[in-house]
Amino acid sequence: MEELDGNGAAGRLSEVFALEMTGARGRCDTCGNVVALAEARAFLDAPGVVIRCRACESVLLVLVRGDDRYWLGVSGMTWLELR
């Protein structure tokens, strides 16, 4: 499984979010770390996109694409700030 930074996931995330995702920030619900998604750890070849906290490795976000829909899990973040 290839690891990239969060910039690598921006293309797939932009399929769901019309806003620019590289500038999005989130707070890790596990450790409280606030980080730009572009700086988080991204794995694109998991069953979907998985973004993990760089500080504690917790899963922040999961995005799975099906034939005609997406499933988005953000339970690992206290909040997500989009600009």
In the complex, minimum distance from the CB of residue 68 to Zn ion, in angstroms, rounded to a whole number: 33
Residues 19 to 48: which contact Zn ion by CB under 5 A?
28, 30-31, 33
Helix ranges (DSSP H) in the chain: 10-14
In the complex, minimum distance from the CB of residue 61 to Zn ion, in angstroms, rounded to a whole number: 12
- Are the C-beta atoms of residues 7 and 38 closer than 8 Å to each other? yes
Q: Which of 69, 47, 73, 70 is nearest to 59 (CA)?
A: 73
User: Hey, what are 31's tokens?
Assistant: 């450790």
Interface with Zn ion, residue 56, by CB under 5 A:
yes
Residues touching Zn ion, count (CB under 5 A): 8
By the criterion CB under 5 A, which residues form the site for Zn ion?
A: 28, 30-31, 33, 53, 55-56, 58
